[in-house]
Amino acid sequence: MIGWTPPEGWPVVTREYCRQVLTAPGERFEMETIDIRGVPTRVWKNAPPNLRAITLLGRTHGDRVFTIYQDERVTFDAWFRAVATLAHELQARGVKKGDRVAIAMRNLPEWPVAFFAAITIGAICVPLNAWWTGDELAFGLANSGTKALICDEERWERVLPHRASCPDLNTAFVCRGTEHLEGAIALEDVIGTPPDYAELPARELPEVEIGPEDDATIFYTSGTTGKPKGALGTHRNLCTNIFSSAFNAACAFMRRGEPLPDPKQKVGLTVIPLFHVTACSAGLMGNVAAGNTMIFMHKWDPVEAFQIIEREKVNSTGGVPTIAWQLIEHPERKNYDLSSIEAIGYGGAPSAPELVRKIREEFGALPSNGWGMTETMATVTGHSSEDYLNRPDSCGPPVAVADIKIMSEDGTRELTNGEIGELWARGPMVVKGYWNNPEATAETFINGWVRTGDLARIDEEGFCYIADRAKDMIIRGGENIYSSEVENALYDHPAVTDAALVGLPHKQLGEEPAAVVHLAPGTTATEGELQAWVGARLARFKVPVRIAFSKDTLPRNANGKILKKDLAGFF
């Protein structure tokens, strides 16, 4: 489909064989079945019991550099000193197990300090969307009943006018403030600046008993409709991701007949916000456990990314597909040595099959993606390397501890392989429910399964294919049009680097498909040309009746999802 031919003899073994070998008794990925909220659930037997254990594991990496931000470098030892110091300070200010501690800031070295300081004392960490307005931040603080806030000055200035609407908030620590902070404590007065962390005294973490099913985080959903909902995650949810990611990587080696390599510490450029589960749960947790270096940027800029990759010998990056496209398409790319890149991964938004091939061709790197959502604390399925090149329109099979199924619209009947319906998922990564929202919890979480709202199908080998968000499907005269199918056809055109399909009202047909596209620099395409291109690949009723051109990449939320409601002005 994308011009990739599997190497002779690949795959050497089946996915089921990988699963049996890797999860066998006594092996690293051994599983056991336990009761979680009344539901028998497979879990990774050897996963850390809680995030406190991950923090202590992080300390063992000592002088290895953990975070890089501009000219600030923080080792794992220095990070742990700051975590322990801030954890004791939070306790001294009355934060107890179960209390909420919110974080609202850019990707800064202070972020992983704040996160682990909160969760190691049993508090519930509430990572708030740093793109939110003051009203939205106040909603998150009030809804979660946050007791302590750790933020940067920009976020504090947004929150301050709304402080009265956050009655539970009694302590605020603000980092990188430029002048006197009204009503807040300078975080630097407690732990110093990141270059100072290494000089902090060596301290142990406060003693707190934490179980795997204890509450750990509240991540708010994207909130594309109505108010965001707070997904209440457990320590087990986040610890599961470490093993899920490693399991997927091990499968890729076995599928090509290679022995599993010894662990090697890597350098990654993190360009997706840490307040999103992809970066926090699927990224930060595993990086702390493995001793990997994380590089943060003040804001995304492709040329600056090239400079960082060359200078720091970055092994992996990604985040969302639009970032991968920019790395590939940018004319400056040829001026930098990017040969250290081994993998480019992404989640958070569907990707075009063409992108998979381009990553392999242009970087010689292995592409990877996966499917998950805030309610699954990231990874449910994983897809990488040859398997991804072989099935570029799939998001992969579920990891060994997860199950997926396709259900009818009313949720009463499981569909067969190949049929499109609503994707349901279960496993130890599924959150407890929505914070203080029993009605929404009852609608979405059913006997251990989460109803995802995604339309999907599963093939005979268990690989999952996301067709659309249920609410994004366009129904034209009774015919279903899945946005991703048309968008992928547009992405296949050499000039198109961003595409979104929306529905236009139609008196007789109900709605018709229309598209907004962004073209690569220096390329051209007309509406008629793109319509003919789609028409040569898909049924006539799926061809957009109108195609509008955006001079900029399409608007996205912080999770990388295109804001289709913001595209109405194009038509």
For the chain, residues classed under CATH 3.40.50.12780 are 19-47+232-469
Q: What percent of the chain has pLDDT over 90?
A: 77
Output DSSP code: residue 246.
H
Instruction: Please determine, for residue 304, whether its predicted confidence score (pLDDT) is greater than 80.
Output: yes
In contact, 262 and 287? CB cutoff 8 Å: no
Dihedral of CA 265/270/273/278: which sign? negative
298, 269 Cβ separation under 8 angstroms: no
CATH superfamily for domain 19-47+232-469: ANL, N-terminal domain (3.40.50.12780)
Domain 81-210 has CATH 3.40.50.980: yes
Quick: pLDDT tens for 5-19. 899 999 999 999 999
Query: According to the model, what pLDDT value does residue 349 have?
Result: 57
Average pLDDT over residues 545-569: 89
113 in Cβ contact with 78 (< 8 Å):
no
**Which alpha helices (DSSP H) does 264-381 contain, by range?**
277-279, 285-290, 302-312, 321-329, 353-363
**pLDDT for res 224:** 46
Those residues whose C-beta lies under 8 Å from the C-beta of residue 144, and which sit 6 or more positions away, are 100, 102, 124, 126, 218, 230, 435
Place of tokens 């999770």: 559
CATH architecture of 474-570: 2-Layer Sandwich (3.30)
What is the rounded average pLDDT for all residues in the chain? 93
Closest CA to 229 of 239, 237, 218, 240: 218
Q: Which of the four pLDDT bands, split at 50, 70 and 90, describes residue 555?
A: very high
Q: Taking CA 502 as the corner, what is the angle to CA 499 and CA 505, rounded to the nearest 5 degrees? A: 155
pLDDT at 43 over 90: yes
Per-residue model confidence as pLDDT tens digits over 348-368: 555 778 888 889 888 888 889
- Backbone torsions φ then ψ of 24, nearest 5 degrees: -65, 155
What's the number of CA atoms in the CB half-sphere (13 Å) around residue 64? 20
How do strand 474-476 and strand 479-481 relate by DSSP bridges? antiparallel
308-348 pLDDT, tens per residue? Answer: 999 999 999 987 777 888 888 889 999 999 999 999 987 75
State the maximum Cα–Cα separation within the chain, in Å, rounded to a whole number.
72
Measured distance CA(136)–CA(493) in Å, rounded = 38
Q: What is the pLDDT of residue 2?
A: 57
Closest residue by Cα to residue 154 from 105, 117, 114, 216: 105
Write down the number of H helices and E strands in the chain.
17, 28
Ranges of CATH 3.40.50.980 domains, the chain: 81-210
- Residue 481 CB-density burial (10 A; 0-12 exposed, 13-18 middle, 19+ buried): buried
Strand partners, 234: 215
Q: What is the CA radius of gyration of the chain?
A: 23
Q: What is the mean pLDDT of residues 155-179?
A: 95
Q: Give the mean pLDDT of 484-492.
A: 89
Q: What is the pLDDT of residue 201?
A: 98
pLDDT in tens, 537-553: 887 889 999 999 999 99
Is the pLDDT confidence value at 241 over 50?
Answer: yes
Domain with CATH 3.30.300.30 in the chain: 474-570
pLDDT tens for 283-296 read: 999 999 999 999 99
Mean pLDDT, to the nearest integer, of 158-184? 94
- Cβ of 440: how many Cβ atoms within 10 Å? 16
Q: Which two tokens stand for residue 310?
A: 């060359």
